A and B are shown apart, each in its own frame.
Chain A
Amino acid sequence: QQQVKQSPQSLIVQKGGISIINCAYENTAFDYFPWYQQFPGKGPALLIAIRPDVSEKKEGRFTISFNKSAKQFSLHIMDSQPGDSATYFCAASMRGGFKTIFGAGTRLFVKA
């Protein structure tokens, strides 16, 4: 029940295309859903995050869609660029909990 399932494992997208990464969770006590971006040789860095009281959050080319009833959330990268090539992690945590549960990661490659 503590797992966050992420798919796909890897993704290849043409420059200018839309990249979509999906995550699903079981524990309804989760109330914070961040996405992290990791470049080779670097640590993960927060990209965008959402709380379950909203269904969508947009920051520039990055959008999180959240479906509370389905217990799913997804990251959409519009107009994908080669510089977006990285590993993306979805995650979930709960108030009063002391750890963040990470998905297994998606390696995104954007072809020029």
Chain B
Amino acid sequence: DTAVSQTPKYLVTQMGNDKSIKCEQNLGHDTMYWYKQDSKKFLKIMFSYNNKELIINETVPNRFSPKSPDKAHLNLHINSLELGDSAVYFCASSQVAGSNQPQHFGDGTRLSIL
């Protein structure tokens, strides 16, 4: 059983399109995250949700809108895709926010903008 699963694994689309990435965790964790990893492997936090509530938004453009329908799901919708959005997006979860628990990552969604 995959602990943190993301779909799709690959996403190739044109500039200006809108796309969504889905994430689900079956670990019973309270906190979920979205990270962006660029071509140099740098991991940058985008959003953090705790019990469906947004707790961190790291100055991400408004074109990115996360949605957490329940504690086990955190989806990411991106409007008007730009070339600079090309990256690998990782979803992660941890047991409780702020308690210094390890994060469990999905295998990522590689987004390529043509």
Contact = CB atoms under 8 A, between A and B. Distances in A.
Interface of A: 31-32, 34, 36, 38, 41-46, 49, 51, 87, 89, 93-100, 102, 104-105, 107
B25 to A, nearest CB: 12
A97 to B, nearest CB: 6
The 6 A-B residue pairs whose C-beta atoms are closest, nearest first, are A43-B105, A32-B100, A46-B102, A105-B41, A102-B43, A96-B98
A18 to B, nearest CB: 23
Contacts of B43: 44, 89, 102, 105
A45 B48 contact: no
Contact of A43 (B41, B50, B107): B107
Contacts of B104: 45-46
Interface of B: 4, 31, 33, 40-43, 45, 48, 50, 55-56, 58, 90, 92, 97-100, 102-108
Contacts, number: 60
Contacts of B102: 34, 46, 49
B50 A98 contact: yes
Given A31-B100, A95-B98, A96-B98, 12 more contacts: A34-B102, A43-B4, A44-B43, A45-B104, A46-B104, A49-B102, A93-B100, A98-B50, A98-B56, A98-B97, A102-B43, A107-B41
Nearest to B45: A99
B100 A87 contact: no
